[in-house]
Amino acid sequence: MSAERKNNFSPFRAQGLLVLFISVIFFGSLSVALGPVIDWDLKNYHFYNPYAFLNGRLGFDYGPAQFQTYLNPLTDLPFYISFLYLPPVYAGFVMGALHGVNFWLLYLIGLKLFTFEEGLKRIVLSFFTAATGTFGAGFLSELGATLNDSLVSVLVLLSVLLMLGALEKAGRRAFLLSLFFSGLVMGAGVGLKLTQLIYAAGALMAVLVVSRGLKDAVMNGVGWSFGIFSGMLLSSGFWMLKLWEKFGSPFFPFFNSFFKSGYFDPVEIADLRFFPRDAVQTLFYPFYFARLNNLALELHFRDIRFAAAYILIVISALATVYIFFRKRNEKLAGLDGRRKDIFLTVFFVGSYVVWQIRFPYYRYLVPLELLSPVLIAALLSCLVKSRPWFRLSVAALFIAIVSAVKVPDWGRTDWSETLFGLKRPPAEIERDSVVLMAGIRPYSYIIPFFPEDVRFVRVESNLTAPYKDTKFQAEMREVLRNHSGPAYIIVPFPNILQIESTAGKFNMYAIKEECRTFSSIDDQFIICRLGRVFSP
């Protein structure tokens, strides 16, 4: 890329603020038009967790949202608070508007990188790059939803933007300060959602690569890592302390093969469904996204942007190798003037490799999905020297990317007055009751509609089971044994046999005359009062 020209574009000047305004209004409105997403995660923990956090239910309820009960609740507060004070449709607008900030950040990243274009051409290229970035299978499927990959991606993009700004700093102190704040923002994202470790690792690789010499690399790596650690403490330190005090592990129930909390099995929680199947898939996984399939997601989707980026990265790498070996005199000057491009490329590749090795689930790729058109345009600018041909190439590739996108559907439905179709309370139940939750389906979303003094104990889930011998299981049995008030059992489907089987494992039985049903938008529930079996 050509040498940097003075950057006259500011995120807080009129055109930057205008793009931000357009972004939040457009994506908020699009979220409303698409409708709410009532998915497994929302029914399992995205609605319950912030409710539990605001009402101090950690240690009162026992794992009602399965192991996801113990994820950082801060990420879900924007939606839950919006839902508390606004009709659901307005809450959907708020979430879509927050997701729309990604567009603004992509636009600003484009302005930082596309210094080879002047004035209006630079603005137009940045705008359409951001538009292509947000027109992706992952981002659009999550727009306005509570899946949160499109929310924490805001922090990833902001971190990248700050790092690109740091590379413009002439003074060493100013550079290190910007580097620290970039790491701080990235670390805050990691604290909110642990899968963002993908991008912290990728950014660390990129920081080291663009450093000038070993001494700078060490200092930059330390500064970046300190920023990451500080950001994690800022967004998640309080929660890690709570989990440590309660369970003896700051990441409970994750990494329990290391922390060995007695409240869970000493194993790693990992989803092995989406790893590449063989060596060919491992090497060319992005090309499989270019055809309609569900290799990296539960739902079928299609997006060719990663395949396009893959090809351009390989070509650019070969061109760089050619320069290194055949044009040594041009090497240093040429590459040093492209530090931003190199940072973005190494960040992209490094993050992708970590993703594929550790978390190969397409939803977690949303930040790279957003960034890929920016990278594509940056790489093309280096490979295609003719400006008219460059613009034609970018336009053709962006049109192809947008045309090929197939967006998966996580369960969009129509807006209603109550989102879940539940009244308060869903079923008449005595105060100071304890409710056994049976079955492994997600339904903790019903808990906020019951009185706050009703205690919920999840006796069957991906965290608990009657046959397990853990402290968690022992404490649940103790709570059920010592509770002197009314006891109930609930299942999210009409199955009295399930009720009788589960209750019997805790020396209880269902009083069939006191069973009632109620329903939500998706589920049909049975709730029965329990009697106790007393041993002689």
pLDDT tens digits along 369-420: 999 999 999 999 999 989 999 999 999 999 999 999 999 999 899 998 888 9
ω into residue 253 within 30 of 0, thus cis?
Answer: yes
CB distance 207 to 194 below 8 Å: no
Contacts by residues 19-26 (CB-CB < 8 Å, ≥ 24 positions apart): 19/103, 19/104, 19/107, 19/127, 20/101, 20/104, 23/100, 23/101, 23/102, 23/103, 23/104, 23/107, 24/97, 24/98, 24/100, 24/101, 24/104, 25/97, 25/100, 26/100, 26/103
Band of residue 1 on the pLDDT scale cut at 50, 70, 90 = very low
Q: Phi/psi of residue 223, each to 5°?
A: -60, -45
State what percent of residues in the chain have pLDDT above 90. 83
Strand order in the sheet with 434-437: 455-458, 434-437, 487-491, 524-532, 508-519
Residue 522's nearest CA partner among 452, 433, 422 is: 422
User: 117-134 as b/e, with b when 16 or more CB fall inside 10 Å?
Assistant: beeeebbebbbbbbbbbb
* Strand blocks (E) in 336-470: 434-437, 455-458
State the Rg of the chain over Cα: 26
Tens of pLDDT, residue by residue over 492-519, are 887 778 888 899 999 999 998 999 999 9
Q: What is the residue extent of each domain of the chain?
A: 14-36+72-266+276-404, 434-532
Q: Are strands 524-532 and 455-458 parallel, antiparallel or unpaired?
A: unpaired
User: Tokens 């807006």, residue?
Assistant: 415
CB distance 517 to 417 below 8 Å: no
- Output the average pLDDT for the chain: 92
Q: Which helix (H) or strand (E) holds 105?
A: helix 88-113
DSSP state of 533: P
Q: Which helix (H) or strand (E) holds 261?
A: none
Work out the number of other CB atoms within 10 angstroms of the CB of residue 321: 10
Tens of pLDDT, residue by residue over 421-479, are 998 899 999 999 999 999 889 999 999 999 999 999 999 999 998 888 999 999 999 99
Nearest-5° Cα angle at 313, 312 to 316:
85
Q: How far is the C-alpha of 264 from the C-alpha of 463, rounded, in Å?
A: 7
More confident residue, 218 or 5: 218
Tokens of 110: 């484009």
Least confident of 1-5, 188-192, 522-526: 1-5
CB distance 383 to 319 below 8 Å: yes
pTM for the whole structure: 0.94
Band of residue 536 on the pLDDT scale cut at 50, 70, 90 = very low
Q: How many helices (H) and strands (E) does the chain have?
A: 20, 5
Tokens of 37: 């997403």
Beta bridge partners of 526: 491, 517
CB distance 448 to 490 below 8 Å: no
Distances (CA, A) of 482 to 282, 465, 475, 485: 53, 19, 11, 9
Average the pLDDT over 231-237 and give the result.
97
Q: How far is the C-alpha of 219 from the C-alpha of 30, rounded, in Å?
A: 44
Beta bridge partners of 437: 458, 490
Tell me the three state secondary structure of residue 229.
Answer: helix
Q: How far is the C-alpha of 130 from the C-alpha of 372, rounded, in Å?
A: 10
pLDDT of residue 530: 96
